[in-house]
Amino acid sequence: MWRRRLRGSMGKTIKINISDRDPFIVEETRIVLKSGGVAAIPTDTFYGLGVDPFNTGAIEKIYQIKGRNTNKPLLLLIEATKRLGSLIAETTKDSETLMRELWPGPLTIIFRASPALPAILTAGTGKIGIRLPASSFLIWLLEGLDMAITATSANPSGLPSPSTAEDVEKYFPGKIDLIIDAGRADGIMESTVIDATEAPMRLIREGMIKTERLEGLIGKINRC
């Protein structure tokens, strides 16, 4: 595998080929996350900022560098539905249908959060958005880390989501502890977000998966 590690006073970048699976990547990412750091990671949509979702200090760091309002919760990425048990309180028949038909993929489902999650992660809403991504690289990385990570886009609030590691560095020079540079991310649009805690479900954001597709699976959806 061709890789390059660039060290600086405030962080480092690992340049990789997205098809490679090197334990070095997992170990470097684990070190950063377990120490409360922030990693910029390529997803199947755009580059995202990942931290340990049970580390309150790391979550606060994301809000600070993004300039994100703390009344807006953060989303999580998981590698398999078995991870949900430690993150959410319950599923519903309709949410199970969406997971079965549209995961892995660009669909974020909002569940009732487990009481174990830090309140800052859910912005005090008691809800948590979760996505199982379609990126085989990201699934591999999450399996190696054996944990969920945050998935907020790697951009200052209000600016376009970044498609490259260079975009991330321009947005946050010297502020990210680790950037995994895998070239251009595949996404042309953000994930669709739907709230499964309401009946009928409520559409929060239409993204790559269109409302008509969702309604074809679970029936009528309330639109914001």
pLDDT tens figures, 155-180: 999 999 999 999 999 999 999 999 99
Which candidate, 5, 9, 4, 3, places its Cα nearest to that of 173?
9
* Higher-pLDDT residue of 20, 118: 118
Q: Would you say 110 and 193 are in contact if contact means Cβ atoms under 8 Å apart?
A: yes
Q: Does the pLDDT of residue 8 top 70, yes or no?
A: no
Partners of 12 in beta bridges: 7, 178
Torsion of CA 52, 55, 128, 167, to 10 degrees: -50
- Give the chain's mean pLDDT: 94
Q: Does residue 3 surpass a pLDDT of 80?
A: no
Residue 62 has pLDDT above 60, yes or no: yes
Say if residue 35 is exposed, middle or buried (CB neighbours under 10 Å; 0-12, 13-18, 19+): exposed
Q: Which two tokens stand for residue 220?
A: 């009528």
**What phi and psi, each to the nearest 5 degrees, are found at residue 170?**
-65, -35
Average pLDDT over residues 135-163: 96
Average pLDDT over residues 132-143: 96
What backbone phi and psi angles, to 5 degrees, belong to 66? -80, -20
| pLDDT tens-digit series, residues 10-58 | 589 999 998 989 999 999 999 999 999 999 999 999 999 999 999 999 9
Note the pLDDT of residue 224. 73
pLDDT at 131 over 70: yes
User: Could you give the CA distance from residue 217 to residue 78 in angstroms, rounded to a whole number?
Assistant: 22
Dihedral sign (CA 28, 30, 31, 36): positive
Amino acid at position 7, single letter: R
| Distance in angstroms (rounded) separating the CA atoms of residues 83 and 97 | 17
Instruction: Map out the domains of the chain with their CATH numbers.
Output: 4-223 (3.90.870.10)
Q: What is the mean pLDDT of residues 116-141?
A: 97
What band does 6 get if pLDDT is binned at 50, 70 and 90? very low
Inter-helix orientation angle 211-218/93-102, to 10°: 120
Q: What is the rounded CA–CA span in Å between residue 97 and residue 103? A: 10
Residue 10, pLDDT score: 55
How many Å apart are CA 97 and CA 203, to the nearest integer?
16
Report which of 1, 157, 182, 174 is spatially closest to residue 72, judged by C-alpha positions. Answer: 157
HSE of 141, CA atoms in CB hemisphere, 13 A: 30
The pLDDT of residue 90: 96
In the chain, % of residues over pLDDT 70:
96
Total-model pTM: 0.93
